[in-house]
Structure 1
Amino acid sequence: MTSPASFRDRTNWSGGYYELAIEVGSSDDARLQAVLSALWSAAGVHGCFGHGDREPEEQDPVPCTVGSLAEFGHLHGRVRLPTGQLVVCGCVAIRGGDDSGDWLDLYVPVGALDHAGTAYWDGRPFFRSGVMDDWLAAIGIETFNNAPFSLGVIGFEVSGCTDASTLAGQLPQTRDIGYLLPHGNALHYGAANT
């Protein structure tokens, strides 16, 4: 049986990504670092590695930093799902430059979810997992409490599907994905409802 925590098993990294995508709010290394550190801690990620094709025991850990993200493209680790299963996970930054802010995505590959036996699709024309959504929302809320951000979205490959300026502080009434939207010092979770 395939272990969903195996880095070397390429099927764990297949099928796309279920993710918490965070619009950091600016293109500033210090702010991105604060959100990255808070996110890694809130998710309880085990390890931080630059290579997703070698087991953690076969490589040296790397610092959980913006510099490591720039060097390796993605950071990899293992995270414990709400079901108790340990699975591979990763993180990537999408740098916005001068015109737009940065995004930071924490993801669990669908292949690892399959191997962990996590139900994430119920016949709808898009991927959905209420268990994963609620878990990622809790991670986002804890992250926000330590490093505020502009917006979080939760679901299957949701990074960049909207932004805080488009939402203008309002949750959509009909939601195909989950939203974490700041109101003052609090973060409000609007679960997917379609």
Structure 2
Amino acid sequence: MTSPAAFRDQTNWSGGYYELAIEVGSSDDAQIQAVLSALWSAADVHGCFGQRDHEPEEQDLVPCTVGSLAEFGHLHGQVRLPTGQLVVCGCVAIRGGDESSDWLDFYVPGGALDNAGLAYWDGRRPFFRSDVMDDWLAGIGKETFTRAAFSLGVVGFEVSGCSDAATLAGQMPQERGIGYLLPVDGTLHYGAANT
């Protein structure tokens, strides 16, 4: 049986990503670091590793830092789903440069969800969605925000870049194909996917 927590099993890393994508609201390394640290802690990620082709016990831990993200591209670990299954997970930074703010994407690959037996496609919806994953990732986003504020969070399957805080201008969309974590006057509001 395939373990959804195994790094070496490349099927765990396949199939796209179920994400909590966070628009940091700044391109300042200190702010990105604050959100990264808060996110890793809120998700209760086991370990922090630079390679996904070696099992955790076969490699050294790396610091959970912006520097490690720059060096390795992605940070990897293992996280326990609400179902109790331990699965692989990761995080990547998408740096916007001078023109826009940076994003941090925390993800669980679709292959790991498949190997854990967590359904995120029922054939009735026009896109992937798991209420279990949405609620769990939204909870991680809410906890992250209490420790390090951010401009926007979006939750769902491959949601990074689907929207941004400037476009929303503080207004929660009425019809939502993805989940939104939108700060308004310092308070984070969650709008679950509803279409």
Q: TM-score, normalising length from structure 2?
A: 0.99
Q: Percent identity?
A: 84
Q: Which residue of 2 aligns with 1:145?
A: 146
Q: Which residue of 1 aligns with 2:72?
A: 72
| In 2: Cα distance, 1:67 partner to 1:82 partner | 30
| In 2: Cα distance, 1:82 partner to 1:193 partner | 21
| In 1: Cα distance, 2:122 partner to 2:185 partner | 35
Q: Which residue of 2 aligns with 1:39?
A: 39
Q: Which residue of 1 aligns with 2:169?
A: 168
| In 1: Cα distance, 2:83 partner to 2:174 partner | 30
Q: Which residue of 2 aligns with 1:8?
A: 8
Shift of residue 119, structure 1, vs aligned partner: 1.1
- 1:5 is matched by which residue type in structure 2? A
Shift of residue 122, structure 1, vs aligned partner: 1.4
Q: Which residue of 2 aligns with 1:107?
A: 107
Deviating more after overlay: 180-189 vs 11-20: 180-189
- SS of the equivalent of 1:8 reads coil
Q: Which residue of 2 aligns with 1:54?
A: 54
| In 2: Cα distance, 1:146 partner to 1:122 partner | 35
| In 2: Cα distance, 1:27 partner to 1:96 partner | 7
| In 1: Cα distance, 2:93 partner to 2:128 partner | 22
- SS of the equivalent of 1:152 reads strand
| In 2: Cα distance, 1:126 partner to 1:138 partner | 22
What do the CA deviations read for 1:77-129 (whole angstroms, capped 9, x no partner)?
A: 00000000000000000001100000000000000000101011111221100
Q: Which residue of 2 aligns with 1:23?
A: 23
| In 1: Cα distance, 2:166 partner to 2:122 partner | 32
- 1:185 is matched by which residue type in structure 2? G
Shift of residue 185, structure 1, vs aligned partner: 2.0
Q: Which residue of 1 aligns with 2:131?
A: 130
Alignment RMSD (CA, Å): 0.5
- 1:132 is matched by which residue type in structure 2? M
Where in structure 2 are the equivalents of 1:180-191 lying within 5 Å? 180-191=181-192
- 1:163 is matched by which residue type in structure 2? D
- 1:45 is matched by which residue type in structure 2? V
Runs of 4+ in 1 over 3 A off after TM superposition: none
- 1:112 is matched by which residue type in structure 2? A
Shift of residue 55, structure 1, vs aligned partner: 0.3
What do the CA deviations read for 1:26-72 (whole angstroms, capped 9, x no partner)?
A: 10100000000000000000000000111001100000000000000
Query: Unaligned regions of 5+ residues in structure 2, if any?
Result: none
| In 1: Cα distance, 2:93 partner to 2:16 partner | 16
| In 2: Cα distance, 1:53 partner to 1:178 partner | 31
Q: Which residue of 2 aligns with 1:179?
A: 180
Query: Unaligned regions of 5+ residues in structure 1, if any?
Result: none
Number of aligned positions between the proteins: 194
Q: TM-score, normalising length from structure 1?
A: 0.99
| In 2: Cα distance, 1:155 partner to 1:98 partner | 27
| In 2: Cα distance, 1:166 partner to 1:185 partner | 18
